[in-house]
Structure 1
Amino acid sequence: MSARPVEFKAGMESVDLEMINSMLDAFSQGSYFQAKFRRDEEKTRKYCEGLLRKLRTIPRTNDYFEGVDKYIADLERTRDMSRTYLHLDMDAYYAHVEENDNPSLKGKPVAVGSMDMLVTSNYVARKYGIRSGIPGVLALKICPSLIILPQRMDRYREVSAIIRNQMQLFDENFISPSLDEGCVDITNVLKDNPSLKSTDIAKLLQQKILENTNLTCSMGVAPSPLLAKMCSETNKPNGYFVLDKDPKKCKEFVSTISGLGKTRHRLLEMLGLNNVEDVLENKYDLFYILPETHRDLLFKHALCIPIPPQSTQYFLLRKRTQISKEKSCKEIYDENDLNDLLENMYLDAIKMLYNEQKIAYGMVVKMTDFKLNVQNYPFSLHSAVPAPVIDQDGFIVRNKDDPTPNDLVPENEITFQDNCLFIRQNFFTVAKTALQWAQVRSVGLRLVNLYELE
């Protein structure tokens, strides 16, 4: 089994993906990342096989078939093509912010990330096959002239706030799931300005973003958020695509199955289903084996039935559930350098905790060595609250029935100063004793089980 394959991205039209994936596979042999990928694949495979076993008991009766047909017909009747959504996707966002701030980078292959992993690349780099998800070490072998820059999240958030301000001019309740994309409901704008077309609004928003940030973006316009997102990928970079509201044209556009998540895609692959027509032809089997939420999403997508966003999706700022910091130690030359890095990480995390006006009742220290071995060290920061439970991939295992820190700790029992002291003691103890300083590839600090200060 190979490492996670590199997939096509805009700007990679002339790239030999088979060669790139072969290099990635050879590079990742025996690494932590490949082991994690294998575990993820195995978990997905077992889940899908469990669903497929249900086919043995599928009822082959007229009543069952009629029930599925009625379900599909009822879905068809819910189709509402009256709204118009515009999805905005910034072009190579992090890389282009870096180019803006340093014009000497323009025209050169640039990526943002680390020697461990790239998070994005500009379109010059993509011509070589460099994109997110590739280790920086491998990327330099593919393109020796590649310039790799560290992430500057504060700067990307600053520019993203300007972009979001422009989106808000068209829809106060716009959705912005990440710093470089957003979905705007332009239905009311079109209604209030009958002389405008959706293309006019797309061009206007593109122009406003360009004027305020000097960045380009691609846009898609369609009668549903998912279709609009798919449309935004059609004419990258700095283009737009408008999908007609005709259900027939929408179905023609959605010939392939995308935007449904890795697990559902794997299941459809195991069933030999490659497009939406295959989904509809196998509706009786899929209806029986899929959980209700998965089933509704798949059939609505296949039938081009718009799925309006839920009200909870409209919040620009989600409630923070953890504070996370991770730093590479490749520029560490002695123990003093490591101490400085740890001090800066600790202060950054505490500053975020203070700004959020919260206390952390749990923490996890992550240590990675140069063989990519990863060890997580969870700690409780209060005797009444258990330490976080970590799975083998470093994710915190949560049970919906577990009590929250609010349920376990009396109010005002711990001060912010004491909390900071406990965090510092645990963090520095692990970071300086788990590995020799010369063996440390990266250090991570996560503050979890956050509790609002009174």
Structure 2
Amino acid sequence: MENGTAASKGEGFLSRMALNDNKAGMEGLDRDKINKIIMESSKGSKFYENELKREHQVNQRIEKMMLQKAQITEQQLKKAQAQVERMASELEKSRDLSRVIVHVDMDAFYAAVEMRDCPDLKDKPMAVGSMSMLSTSNYHARKYGVRAAMPGFIAKKLCPHLVIVPCNFDKYKSVSNEIREIFADYDPHFQPMSLDEAYLDFTEHLELRKNWPEASRTHRYSSSGTDIGIEQPEHQQESEVKGFSPVLFEDSPNSSQSLSSPEAADATGKTAELFGTSVEEAVKEMRFRIEQKTMLTASAGIAPNMMLAKVCSDKNKPNGQYRLASTREAVMDFIQNLPVRKVSGIGKVSEKMLNALDISSCAHLGQQMALLSLLFSETAWHHFMQVSLGLGSTYIMRNEERKSMSTERTFKELNKPDEQLSLLRELCEDLAQDLKKEDLKGKNITLKVKNVNFEVKTRALTLPCAIATADEIFAVAKDLLKMEIENESPQPLRLRLMGVRISSFVSPDDKKPLQKSIVGFLQLGKADVRGSTQ
């Protein structure tokens, strides 16, 4: 026990705050040097205290897990192994290699938009966010260990000349809408995951594409292209960008626009690009169109399911793509040496718990599955098993099948009720706009807040009728926020994050007008109000 406690205060504690070099652009950095700076610059801050508390909680879970492991008998392991083998056999029967799933992820999106609009930033380490928290960083900044979800004051210690630009979500949403218009040409039912990433099913598009004439697969260079200067990893300078990416990289053969003809052209004088009918060509075409329309680059992963496609989209970042062949052999080879942290759904807590069991790769997951089934929840080890087999969803949910929709904002401390309510109003208006685009209404409203001590609280309210307008959502969310304000009284409610989510969507037949009932409904106290603290 003493060793575990020491670990939480010494090197072990670094697991929560340490550099995560799995992210694109952060390979080969001096981890020890960066981690030392992170620790020294964060000590004494509320961020540090919160991370220390959470690290202690994780260490306690690990100690409990290791005690549980010590009590497992050989007989229990054999029984678990039989159960695991039966489930693996059933899962194999469900393996679907018939779909072509694409995950698209814009490169350093917020930072790239700011660099595009302010070319002076393109050669400087820069990030978007505030001294409290960063939303993203460009590739220059990542060379210093600066990353998203890092407090700006720590990032400044890592990179003293870092330029931090405030978030401009209205601008990012506008650019995102331009990108989504292109997505819809390849999959009308694409699934956006955030402003800068989405899943698309290219299966139907590829069938149609086989019969397209060359004219339908030819796209012209934009006359407005300019170099926004997102730097490119050396290993991609030849293979990934050659003959493509006409406006992005200074050292690319095609990066400077030729004005030898009245129309825009690449460095070779071409005014257009012809793309083939294969999935690789179709995805290149989509990325080309995004770049020509927005002057921003995207990376993409092509695979038989969503889980693998997301991993693949990170393989050749930035401005690259990677295809994983749709065969079981190719999938299993790909999975073998894949670090568990690369997989969506396995975060730093799960990674640390798995590492305590000497599990660091997806191959290790498969080898230790019987043990995992005895130590983790059913939901967790079922997910681990699917990962170890390279299985994931092949069905992209349509907009009308959405379970929820949300928006949130991170900011410097807000402690005045009028400012908090004003921000809440903005969030409700943003959410209402998104609902209107997809013709959705929901019955459940959830308010999410994070205070200056990094404690996250959620409070939800379920209505008898579905709502969708900004006024209706705000009427509900405002009362939830006032409850939080009153709970802190006489001290002010000091926030650094706020979000609003709507769920429990209704079918089109149920979308009846709410009439003037929300205020009265809240006053009568007939709502189902739930609060929780994470």
User: Shorter-chain TM-score: which interval?
Assistant: 0.7 to 0.9
Alignment map for 1:288-307 (pairs within 5 Å): 288-307=374-393
Whichever residue aligns with residue 29 of structure 2, its letter is V
Cα deviations by residue, 1:33-66 (Å, 9 ceiling, x for unpaired): 2222233334444445555555434562766544
Counterpart in the other structure of 1:166: 182
Match for residue 285 of structure 2 among 196, 201, 204: 204
Whichever residue aligns with residue 357 of structure 2, its letter is L
Alignment map for 1:275-314 (pairs within 5 Å): 275-309=361-395, 311=397, 314=399
Change (3 A) 1:76 1:48: farther
SS at match of 1:74: helix
Counterpart in the other structure of 2:311: 230
Cα deviations by residue, 1:284-316 (Å, 9 ceiling, x for unpaired): 22233333322222122212234334637x569
Whichever residue aligns with residue 368 of structure 2, its letter is N
Counterpart in the other structure of 2:137: 121
Change (3 A) 1:78 1:50: farther
Whichever residue aligns with residue 348 of structure 1, its letter is E
Deviation at 1:96, TM superposition (A): 0.6
- Checking the alignment, whether the CA contact within 8 Å between 2:103 and 2:199 is kept in structure 1 is yes
Change (3 A) 1:167 1:429: same
Whichever residue aligns with residue 126 of structure 1, its letter is R
Task: Say yes or no: does 1:261 pair with 2:326.
Answer: no
Alignment map for 1:16-55 (pairs within 5 Å): 16-55=30-69
Whichever residue aligns with residue 426 of structure 2, its letter is D
SS at match of 1:6: coil
Change (3 A) 1:272 1:188: same
Alignment map for 1:14-413 (pairs within 5 Å): 14-55=28-69, 56-57=71-72, 60=75, 65-194=81-210, 196-254=277-335, 255-256=337-338, 257=340, 258-259=342-343, 260-262=345-347, 263-309=349-395, 311=397, 314=399, 319-320=404-405, 327-328=411-412, 345=423, 348=426, 351=429, 368=452, 393-396=455-458, 404-406=461-463
Deviation at 1:132, TM superposition (A): 1.5
Change (3 A) 1:421 1:294: closer
Counterpart in the other structure of 1:387: none
Counterpart in the other structure of 2:232: none
> Does 163-172 or 259-268 show the bigger shift?
259-268
Change (3 A) 1:443 1:175: closer
State the alpha-carbon separation in 1 of the partners of residues 477 and 189 from structure 2: 37
State the alpha-carbon separation in 2 of the partners of residues 123 and 188 from structure 1: 35
Whichever residue aligns with residue 29 of structure 1, its letter is K
Deviation at 1:120, TM superposition (A): 0.8
Whichever residue aligns with residue 75 of structure 2, its letter is R
State the alpha-carbon separation in 2 of the partners of residues 153 and 433 from structure 1: 33
Cα deviations by residue, 1:67-124 (Å, 9 ceiling, x for unpaired): 4322222222222211111111110000011112222322222110101121111112
Cα deviations by residue, 1:129-182 (Å, 9 ceiling, x for unpaired): 222233222323332332111111121111111112211111122121111111
Deviation at 1:360, TM superposition (A): 11
Task: Say yes or no: does 1:5 pair with 2:86.
Answer: no
Flag structure 2 segments of 5+ consecutive residues without an equivalent. Answer: 1-12, 211-275, 436-440, 466-470, 505-512, 516-534
Whichever residue aligns with residue 38 of structure 2, its letter is L
Whichever residue aligns with residue 60 of structure 1, its letter is Q
Deviation at 1:265, TM superposition (A): 2.3
Paired-residue identity, %: 27
> Does 69-78 or 86-95 show the bigger shift?
69-78
Deviation at 1:13, TM superposition (A): 3.5
- Checking the alignment, whether the CA contact within 8 Å between 1:6 and 1:21 is kept in structure 2 is yes
State the alpha-carbon separation in 2 of the partners of residues 17 and 64 from structure 1: 38
> Does 207-216 or 261-270 show the bigger shift?
261-270
- Checking the alignment, whether the CA contact within 8 Å between 2:201 and 2:396 is kept in structure 1 is no
Deviation at 1:127, TM superposition (A): 2.3
State the alpha-carbon separation in 2 of the partners of residues 85 and 172 from structure 1: 14
SS at match of 1:279: helix
Flag structure 1 segments of 5+ consecutive residues without an equivalent. Answer: 333-337, 375-392, 399-403, 409-413
Deviation at 1:31, TM superposition (A): 2.1
> Does 13-22 or 107-116 show the bigger shift?
13-22
State the alpha-carbon separation in 2 of the partners of residues 117 and 298 from structure 1: 31
State the alpha-carbon separation in 2 of the partners of residues 214 and 341 from structure 1: 35
Change (3 A) 1:168 1:46: farther
Whichever residue aligns with residue 328 of structure 1, its letter is K
Counterpart in the other structure of 2:527: none
State the alpha-carbon separation in 1 of the partners of residues 85 and 472 from structure 2: 61
SS at match of 1:116: coil
Deviation at 1:233, TM superposition (A): 0.9
State the alpha-carbon separation in 1 of the partners of residues 312 and 446 from structure 2: 42
Q: What is the number of equivalent residue pairs in this alignment?
A: 410
SS at match of 1:406: strand
State the alpha-carbon separation in 2 of the partners of residues 5 and 18 from structure 1: 9
> Does 237-246 or 426-435 show the bigger shift?
426-435
Deviation at 1:418, TM superposition (A): 8.2
TM (normalized to structure 1)? 0.76
- Checking the alignment, whether the CA contact within 8 Å between 2:405 and 2:431 is kept in structure 1 is no
Q: What is the CA RMSD across the aligned residues, in angstroms?
A: 4.1
Deviation at 1:197, TM superposition (A): 1.2
- Checking the alignment, whether the CA contact within 8 Å between 1:364 and 1:445 is kept in structure 2 is yes
